[in-house]
A and B are shown apart, each in its own frame.
Chain A
């Protein structure tokens, strides 16, 4: 049976992990490569590297770091941030990324999803959606959650799947950073129409929230989080042991 995946997300700026990292026993806590290795050894099922650099120098540094991580960590790597063209796909795939996540770039140019899926296969294209409740519906937000596009999130995800997105990351802006649990209502609405794997993001504050997620929504495939892992609030190995004890199939 396929297992539920636990995915730490590393936001990388100018070659360093941001969002705060606080590990005992890890000397260089903001080194993306060291952190990636650490998570891999703890049993993370996959890693997301998110490039939040704006400058060209920062971007070059990011790809160097990606290459270094991919040379020493042998679990799947997804890369996002600043992906606007198929050339951007090429740039990160050559450095060892397995999947590439598109967000604002696909909102500006939806054909990017189709073009990338044609060239690299559906399995390579992850549609990442930042969504928030607006007027009784869910709207897609662009530019890191700052701009309401007015688009309906459910319709956008359906469209993305039809264009070849092989996986969906749903980040609820409403629950992100609140640490009161994943947005089960919004995720439930997405799961109803999803034909490809769904990764839940935004809101995890403790281990119980992951159990709640997979129990309430058995069709969610993975849970993604950043700061609770970086700050050591949730230990990945302990989390997976707990999930197994709660009857959820995980890789241990």
Chain B
């Protein structure tokens, strides 16, 4: 069973549906016991980092996630959920993240010239970095995935497993042991996205 963390951020309908399509039982939950019983965890999220991080820390969900990560359970953060795995974010101020992935989240406007629009909205081609991640077991380099974001994961060092070209090398996916994150939305990336979720479900 896959636990999709519900902490009051974003719309989980498509995410839940995508697991149904690949034949995986997924539960949208904020219950620590259910999360503990789950084989794997999805941390979703859209919106602003500060609000989302506050909700995670204030509700105690951050501690639950850190304990689960320490136990070795596979966790996949998606979009803002990936950014929340980082140590901190500079989105409207400075906010602490979960610290499961090294690095920080910064505005793309720091780097991009005016010809690049922000947010990056649309399909971009994945470039694998380093050894091929098990997350990409069923897909190929150059496959397209769907992005919507204005901030990016910076300085993640060896955790970087894929990037895309959007004026600079933009972090597309990260991994550190059992903790994974995708800046793109697998649940909105057609067949390619579903294959990534399938590979994630096979990790344990």
Query: Which secondary structure dominates chain B's binding surface?
Result: mixed
Evaluate whether A70 and B17 lie within 8 angstroms (CB atoms) in the complex, with A75-B188, A197-B117 already known.
yes
Q: Are the C-beta atoms of B121 and A123 separated by less than 8 Å?
A: yes
Task: Please indicate which of the listed interface residues B48, B125, B148, B164 has the most CB atoms of chain A within 10 Å of its own CB.
Answer: B148
Interface size class of A (residues with CB under 8 A): 20 to 34
**Bound Cα distance A222, B117 (Å):** 13
CA distance A97 to B46 in the complex (A): 13
Contacts of A5 in B (CB 8 A): 122-123
Which residues of A sit under 8 angstroms from B123, Cβ to Cβ? 2-3, 5, 45, 251
A94 with B121: CB separation less than 8 A = no
Question: Bound complex: CA of A121 vs CA of B21, how far in Å?
Answer: 28
Instruction: State whether the Cβ of B120 lies closer than 8 Å to any Cβ in chain A.
Output: yes
CB nearest neighbor in A for B115: A219
A127 to chain B, nearest CB (A): 14
List A residues 116-171 near B (Cβ within 8 Å).
120-124, 166-167
Contacts of B189 in A (CB 8 A): 74-75
Question: A123's contact among B114, B148, B190, by CB below 8 Å, is which?
Answer: B148
Among residues of A, the one whose C-beta sits closest to the C-beta of B14 is A96
B18 touches A74 (CB 8 A): yes
Chain B 15-26, CB-CB to A under 8 Å as 1, else 0, gives: 001101100000
Mask for A179-201, Cβ within 8 A of B = 1, else 0? 00000000000000011110000
Interface residues in B114-134 by Cβ distance below 8 A to A read 114-115, 117-125
Query: Within 8 Å of chain A (Cβ to Cβ): is B77?
Result: no
Known: A74-B190, A196-B117, A219-B115. A94 touches B13 (CB 8 A): yes
Complex Cα distance, B125 from A93, in Å, reads 27
**Secondary structure dominating the interface of A:** loop
Q: Give chain A nearest CB distance to B188 CB in angstroms.
A: 5
CB distance from B196 to the nearest CB of A (A): 11
Contact: A123 with B46, CB < 8 Å?
yes
CB neighbours (8 Å) of A27 from chain B are none
Q: Which of B54-96 contact A (CB under 8 A)?
A: none
A221 at interface, CB cutoff 8 A: yes
A244 to chain B, nearest CB (A): 12
Contact B48 A221 (CB under 8 A): no
Task: Determine if A98 is an interface residue (Cβ-Cβ < 8 Å).
Answer: yes
Add 11 more A-B contacts to A71-B20, A74-B189, A98-B11 (CB < 8 A): A1-B165, A3-B144, A74-B14, A74-B190, A75-B190, A96-B17, A122-B119, A123-B149, A195-B114, A197-B119, A197-B122
| Cβ contacts A to B, 7 pairs, < 8 Å | A71-B21, A75-B190, A94-B13, A123-B119, A195-B114, A195-B117, A197-B117
Residues of B that sit less than 8 Å from A by CB: 11, 13-14, 17-18, 20-21, 46-48, 114-115, 117-125, 144, 146-150, 164-166, 187-191, 193-194
Residue numbers of A with Cβ under 8 A of B are: 1-3, 5, 40, 45, 67, 70-72, 74-76, 93-98, 120-124, 166-167, 194-197, 219, 221-222, 251
